[in-house]
Structure 1
Amino acid sequence: MSDIITAILLGIVEGITEFLPVSSTGHLILATELLGFRAEDWAVFNIAIQPGAILAIVVLYWRTFIAVLTGLLKGEKNSIAFVRNLLIAFIPAVALGLIFADQIDALLENAVVVAWSLIIGGVAILIIERLAKTHEVGGISAVTAGQSIKIGLVQCIAMIPGVSRSGATIMGAMAFGIDRRTAAEFSFFLALPTLTGATALQLFKHRDAVTSDMMGLIGIGFVVSFIVAVVVVKAFMAVVTRYGFAPFAWYRIIAGTAALIWLLAK
């Protein structure tokens, strides 16, 4: 299989899984294993194409971005609270990401960890869906600073591949009483600084490995992940509104079990 086809396939996987509570990094690691490539050879690529999915959020929610920016210029409280909450939630990931960078890199090569994380995360989603007592909070700007820092701390669990950044933030928000829609949108917007920062750090650390050929493949993966993510995010909100997160939980359990059996049988 050519590198271009591999880049396209991984871009599709990234676009589908980045904002679903199923772990994009975990799926990229498993996809790399399934395709028969060394995970470490594609680790930087897998991180570098994430901004493609991030751009999908910018395009889909452009009105929100314009409204927040306009509100900031006018000094409106809601816009200030919106940005404050995202920055507060972003700080823990920055601190722990820098402290445990080497340990995180090592985990990115471990597909067995991904399989177990998928299973455990699926069970956790089912439990939170059943027990969490949520209420309409009125959007991201209405989330408290205390809730925001808690969501940021929970997000850090997703540094373990297979946990899912979106899953951790959404379930964490719901556990703290925030309604499904606000929890999902908080996760979407928090992805912008988190994934942009992670991508920049990885590209800087591994800049010697990023050749012109790799940049070309990254460009392909970026475009593919963007297009796929636009479609998936729209569908995701419709599914969550009607069915909740249980379908994704059962998918995680089934996929994680199948991956674990396959990996142990190799």
Structure 2
Amino acid sequence: MDTVKLIQVIVLAVIEGITEFLPISSTGHMIIASSVMGIAADPFIKLFTIAVQLGAILSVVVLYWKRFLQSFNFYLKLLVAFIPAAVFGLLFSKKIDALLESALTVGITLFVGGIILLFVDKWFNKPTIKEEKDINYLTALKIGFFQCLAMIPGTSRSASTIVGGMSQKLTRTAAAEFSFFLAVPTMFAATAKKLLDFYKEGHRFTGEEIKLLAIGNVIAFIVAMLAIKTFITFLERKGFVLFGWYRIVIGAVIIGLIMTGHKLDVI
């Protein structure tokens, strides 16, 4: 196995595991990381950055397995919330793919999203919904529309859905957990579509690439489990301000590098 490729895959998997469920954009971080490593144009790496989400998905199912054995209404709510992203994803898939190749888009959305996160705790400070079972179908649908914002790389699916949940009177914890649950069908569908597109384009996995996908998903699974537990604890105590400043700094750095002639975009 190519040692360099293995190291690159491990780095991307760790980034995915840490950032997938934090409101800082996993896709944005992996676009920048793969660009810096000079591998962003590699068809396998493009697929890997999506397929490695399966490991993160599994971490949610394992950590919250009791929730996934609840009533049928739990799954109906997830379906209702998933529909907007499914429709928008199918309608605008080509435009979304084009945006995924723009580091400048990532920088701008990280920066703007960071500013928003500085204020969300003050904007939505009177929650009335503390548990998933109290979320109705209309609320689930509204959160689903917020998730569509994450189709712009750098926005963060987690940030969009958590802020969307808080805007609908969910507590920070309830909004974060519903965001985790909604990630399961959303990320699974996105991965399945990318795999299908990969094969339609005539690509086939080599034995080494299958091993790299397996290693990446195992790493993403382990890291994501740790990240979720840490995030929930931190969110309950501190809120979103620190994440907001982090996004602002990272976004400003990316924009600054591009404006001074550094090429980060996928070519």
- Pairwise same-fold verdict (TM > 0.5): yes
Aligned residues: 255
Tell whether the 8 Å contact from 2:120 to 2:240 is kept in structure 1 after alignment.
Answer: no
Deviation per CA, 1:3-24: give whole Å up to 9, x if none: 1100000000000000000010
Preserved contact between residue 21 and residue 180 of structure 2 (Cα < 8 Å): yes
Aligned to 2:34: 32
In structure 1, give the amino acid aligned to 2:28. G
Within the candidate set 61, 69, 75, 2:64 is matched to 61
Q: Is the 8 A contact 1:115 1:257 kept in 2?
A: yes
Q: Contact (CA 8 Å) 1:118, 1:252: kept in 2 or not?
A: yes
Q: Please report the TM-score for the alignment, with normalisation by the length of structure 1.
A: 0.92
Asked whether 1:209 is paired with 2:235, we answer no
Matching residue within 106, 113, 116 for 2:98:
106
Deviations 1:26-76 (A, max 9, x none): 10001111212234532111001101011111111122223x1xxxxxxxx
The 3-state SS of whatever aligns with 1:137 is coil
Displacement of 1:147:
1.0
4+ runs of 1 displaced by more than 6 Å? none
How far is the alpha carbon of 1:228 from its aligned partner?
Answer: 0.5
Contact 1:118–1:255 (Cα < 8 Å) also in 2? yes
Counterpart position of 1:255? 250
CA–CA distance in 2 between the matches of 1:14 and 1:120? 21
Structure 1 counterpart of 2:153? 161
Over the residues paired in the alignment, what is the CA RMSD in angstroms?
Answer: 1.4
Compared with structure 1, are the counterparts of its residues 39 and 245 closer, same or farther at alpha carbon in structure 2 (3 Å cutoff)?
farther
TM-score by length of 2: 0.92
- Within 5 Å, which residues of 2 pair with 1:86-235? 86-207=78-199, 208-212=202-206, 213-235=208-230
Q: CA deviation at 1:130?
A: 1.7
| Contact 2:53–2:187 (8 Å) recurs in 1 | yes
Counterpart Cα distance in 2 of 1:264 and 1:237: 36
The letter for the 2-side match of 1:263 is I
> Deviation of residue 82 (structure 1)?
2.0
SS in 2 for 1:200: helix
Percent identity, please. Answer: 43
Greater fraction of residues in helix: 1
Q: Residue in 1 aligned with 2:49? A: 46
